[in-house]
């Protein structure tokens, strides 16, 4: 059906708008980006922009929501994910595919990735702190928090240095240095 969000042309135009916004926010502050700037960069009309988004901020929020949906999809596949390496690689794939958006979000909200990782705590707590049966619950909670903070720091550095290493290397690095039993 033409004009619906499931239409491939509609989705292609949304991605074009989002790419234009990312290009612009890499050059200037988001508060100075106008809809006209986005339209010119995306080579679309203002009317087309408004068919997709109400404002520049609604476009940015849609990109953030999309990333959260991708993380949620990994979380929902939880019974299929039984090891920390697979989980980390899945998350790194999302980061890699959305690096420009996540880099921007980090600049606005340094705790963004921590919030996403803490969101998964209930489902993955035992994966993060397994092999630590000798610890009581308080100690296991500290280990989990430490692991999340270390993981976020490594991912942030990976992003800030331009994703030079591949995600398998980063996943193994995180496992070796953050999740060592």
Domain 8-53 in this protein, CATH class: mainly alpha
The reply to whether 8-53 and 60-178 are identical in fold is: no
Rounded Cα distance, 109 and 146, in Å: 19
**First and final CA of the chain: distance in angstroms?**
53
State the pLDDT at residue 62.
93
**What is the residue-level pLDDT of the chain in tens, covering all 181 positions?**
455 666 889 989 999 999 999 999 888 888 899 999 999 999 999 999 999 999 999 999 999 899 989 988 887 776 666 677 888 888 899 999 999 888 888 877 778 877 777 766 656 666 656 555 677 878 877 877 887 788 888 988 999 999 999 999 999 998 888 665 5
State the pLDDT at residue 1.
47
Instruction: Tell me what the pLDDT averaged over the chain comes to.
Output: 83
Q: Are 105 and 153 in contact (CB under 8 A)?
A: no
Which of these, 97, 93, 99, 90, lies nearest to 120 by C-alpha position?
90
Rounded Cα distance, 162 and 156, in Å: 10
Rounded Cα distance, 68 and 101, in Å: 12
Chosen CATH of 60-178 out of 3.40.50.1970, 1.10.357.10, 3.40.470.10, 3.40.190.10: 1.10.357.10
pLDDT digits (tens, 9 = 90+) for 116-152: 777 666 566 666 565 556 778 788 778 778 877 888 8
* Domain range list for the chain: 8-53, 60-178
């Amino acid at each position: 059906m033409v004009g619906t969000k499931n239409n491939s042309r509609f989705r292609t135009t949304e991605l074009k708008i989002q790419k234009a916004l990312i290009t612009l926010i890499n050059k200037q502050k988001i508060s100075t980006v106008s809809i006209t700037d986005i339209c010119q960069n995306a080579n679309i009309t203002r009317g087309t922009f408004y068919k997709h988004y109400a404002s520049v901020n609604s476009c940015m929020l849609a990109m953030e929501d999309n990333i959260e949906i991708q993380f949620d999809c990994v979380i929902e596949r939880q019974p299929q994910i039984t090891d920390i390496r697979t989980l980390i690689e899945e998350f790194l794939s999302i980061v890699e595919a959305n690096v420009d958006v996540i880099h921007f979000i980090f600049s606005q909200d340094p705790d963004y990735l921590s919030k996403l990782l803490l969101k998964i705590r209930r489902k993955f707590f035992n994966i993060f702190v397994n092999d630590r049966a000798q610890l009581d619950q308080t100690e296991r909670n500290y280990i989990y928090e430490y692991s999340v903070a270390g993981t976020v720091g490594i991912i942030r550095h990976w992003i800030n240095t331009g994703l030079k290493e591949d995600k398998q290397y980063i996943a193994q690095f995180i496992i070796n240095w953050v999740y060592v039993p």
